[in-house]
Amino acid sequence: MNILDNKNVFITGGTGSFGKKFVSNALASQLKSITVFSRDELKQYEMRQQFSDSRLNFLLGDVRDYERVYRCLHNVDLVVHAAAMKQVPASEINPTEAIRTNVIGAENLINACIELEVEKVIALSSDKAANPSNLYGATKLCSDKLFIYANKLSSNRRTKFSVVRYGNVLGSRGSVIPFFVKQSKAEFIPITDERMTRFWISLNQGVGFVLKCLESMEGGEIFIPKIPSMGILDVAESIAPGVPTKIVGVRPGEKLHEIMITEDDARNTLEFKNHYEIISSPDRYENATKKESFVGRVPEGFTYTSFNNPIRLNQEGFKKLLSDDNLI
């Protein structure tokens, strides 16, 4: 049985790239209903034209508004929290706005879900939340901590909270992919630093991973998929072969390499066949060992970065990921 079958599902930020792909996959299940909660009426209108299914509902609202969130969550079983202010430069120059959406919004959703005894809540995070170097990453780290701690707040109720953390999503709004495609017709492609590496995941893979985590979560885990890395120069060459590149310098808050598991996190990190889990307490270890895909604890000093990642993408593999989301 699909985890969504016979459930009322609620997705915040549901008109975004992830949200639309998630809704498309969700409607293929036997769910009772799925509600898209977001603040842009135009995007909701456009999405309504794309899907014609009586189980799909749209509600306008903002995660910053607790009362509205609370009213919209009645009779909901499962929540996917995808709403966020995620543009790094925008967050740097609008810090209070990023905090209100990514931190206060997360707290509002948590409190409403506990009060209404939602069954499961899974929040989308970012590799930028690990050892953050910019405000966006810092707000997502705060959000992650709130969702993990929420399991203690709901200990006498049935609501469980977990987090999914992964890298750059191909084709999402703000992704470098559409920018590189546009620049492929220009004289050169601007590159911040030729040494830069990034984790990559397709929208299809991201949605599939979230669904698997939603099914297996016990509450309190940060799920991290094993996904490939690639250097930025290879990304540019894959999208715009033969177009010259120009080094323009690293932007404020930008890292050369992304990290998803820090050395400090490693003390509480378990490895599975296709993913890692940062667990919130040692008592989670015994349950993990019973899972068929369990590998063991990661070694002392372990880190998981886009630079030391053993899974590497070549240009052919990258193009396959792009085709997975119909981006080429």
| Active-site pick, 7, 20, 128, 160 | 128
128 is catalytic: yes
Q: Where are the beta strands (DSSP E) in the chain?
A: 8-12, 33-38, 56-60, 78-81, 120-124, 160-164, 168-169, 189-191, 197-201, 222-225, 229-231, 245-247, 259-261, 269-272, 275-278, 294-297, 304-305
Please give the backbone phi and psi of residue 91, each rounded to the nearest 5 degrees, phi first.
-70, -35
Contact 143, 108 (CB under 8 A): no
Instruction: Dig out the tokens for 55 from the structure.
Output: 């189980």
Q: Which residues pair with 124 in a beta bridge?
A: 164
Name the phi and psi angles at 318, rounded to 5.
Answer: -65, -40
Q: How many CA atoms lie within 13 A of 16 on its CB side?
A: 24
The pair of structure tokens assigned to 276 is: 């890692």
Evaluate whether 76 touches 117 at the Cβ level (below 8 Å): no
Beta bridge partners of 10: 35, 79
DSSP summary character for residue 97: H
Is 320 within 8 Å of 240 (Cβ atoms)? no
Residues with catalytic function: 128
